[in-house]
Amino acid sequence: MKKKRALIFGVTGQDGAYLSKFLLNKNYIVFGVKRRSSIINTQRIDDIYEDINYKSNFVLLYGDLTDASSILNLIKKVNPNEIYNLAAQSHVKVSFEVPEYSADVNGLGTLRILEAIRSLNLEKKVKFYQAGTSEMFGKTKSKFQNEKTPFHPVSPYGVSKCFAHWITKNYRDAYGIYACNGILFNHESPIRGETFVTKKIIQGLVRIKQGLQKKLFLGNLYSKRDWGHARDYVEVMWKMLQQNKPDDFVIGTGKTFTIKDFVNKAAKKIKLDIRWTGKGIKEKAINIENKKIIIECRARYFRPLEVDYLKSNALRAKKILKWFPKKSLDNLIDEMIEHELENNND
């Protein structure tokens, strides 16, 4: 049987790396789009390149979501069965600093892919996945968020992703493209970017325990997030593209924890005995063993507006896609700690 061809925008990111491996194991030929950078940005996928079983089915190509002609040429050249748009300026806080660029990549970038599909008359041939986000729910008042919960984005990132969501739906309805929006809640892993809070906490606490770092500086400790494992979440991206008809799905664990809960869980596992003291920006954590302050809050890590509370209801995905998250938050933290310890012992 002829192998399916997948084109992944954002292949060098956390999800791109997990999805590439997932699709290669499903016998796809994977074409990954990377952008030019001044230093090598393929660390997360180097092991795929080096793996003799994957090598001949994994191809990297240059492109950029801000460059319409590169997108058109790539799709024409690859002639994919499935396109996964995982590329984004994905940092919420940074989107307040670079709002126009975030809108360009995340919003217009998605439109550029959809327009390329249309220009090449591939509407009935190619399936499209758009990486949507729980950040679109923003200042939600709902106890659980599902596919019917209204969007109320509160960051340039969230707004740009709403544009991407609606334009994907619009092209599905208007031109019959098999296009799906995954509305994914936070998902993490050992290869999570270092400026996202889970990775920053694990990396910081492990280094403090090993005497390699003195303090960890954080922002808002009281926002709540529904954290899953990236490996579980890439599977569902693929599942969305294997149905009889395209649709949008909320994906999450249905459990929510504060940032402080995450710190407490991680510290306990790393065997750092901590005690919290102070309030607001003055809140800090002290290492009980040596009485040293190891966590402090800094204004620069707070956002102009915050998404306070996220908790998914992924019932539709469970029913229709038969998708269930396999890893708990505890499993995730264990895996992230183990990876960090291995890394620091190299």
Q: Contact with ligand NAP (CB under 6 A): which of 165, 187, 311, 327?
A: 187
CA distances in angstroms from 42 to 10, 32, 46, 77, 193, listed in the order given: 11, 11, 6, 22, 13
End-to-end CA distance of the chain: give it in Å, rounded. Answer: 43
Q: Contact with ligand GDD (CB under 6 A): which of 4, 118, 152, 200?
A: 200
Look-up of token digits 């290492």: 287
Region from 116-124, 138-146, 193-201, 275-283 binding ligand GDD, contact rule CB under 6 A: 193-201
CA dist 169 and 179 (Å) reads 7
Active site residues: 133, 135, 157
* 86: contact with ligand GDD by CB under 6 A: no
* Residue 223 contacts which entry, ligand GDD, ligand NAP, none (Cβ below 5-8 A, type-dependent): ligand GDD
Q: Which residues, in sequence order, are bridge partners of residue 90?
A: none
CA dist 103 and 305 (Å) reads 17
Q: Contact with ligand NAP (CB under 6 A): which of 72, 86, 113, 202?
A: 86
CA atoms lying within 13 Å on the CB side of residue 340: 27
Q: Contact with ligand GDD (CB under 6 A): which of 197, 236, 317, 321?
A: 197
List the one residue out of 190, 268, 264, 240 whose CA is nearest residue 83.
Answer: 240
Exposed/middle/buried for residue 184 (C-beta within 10 Å: 0-12, 13-18, 19+): buried
Look-up of token digits 């997360």: 44
* 303: contact with ligand GDD by CB under 6 A: yes
Binding letters toward ligand GDD, positions 210-249, x by CB under 6 A: --------xxx--x-x------------------------
* Residue 200 contacts which entry, ligand GDD, ligand NAP, none (Cβ below 5-8 A, type-dependent): ligand GDD
Longest dimension (CA), the chain: 66
CA dist 204 and 341 (Å) reads 11
Exposed/middle/buried for residue 251 (C-beta within 10 Å: 0-12, 13-18, 19+): buried
Binding letters toward ligand NAP, positions 90-129, x by CB under 6 A: x--------------x------------------------
Phi and psi at residue 128, to the nearest 5°: -125, 130
* 160: contact with ligand NAP by CB under 6 A: no
* 189: contact with ligand NAP by CB under 6 A: no
Binding letters toward ligand NAP, positions 27-66, x by CB under 6 A: --------x-x---x----------------------xxx
Q: If binding means CB under 6 A, how many residues of this protein chain bind ligand NAP? A: 25
Residues that bind ligand GDD (CB under 6 A): 90, 92-93, 133-135, 185-186, 195-197, 200, 218-220, 223, 225, 259, 301, 303, 306
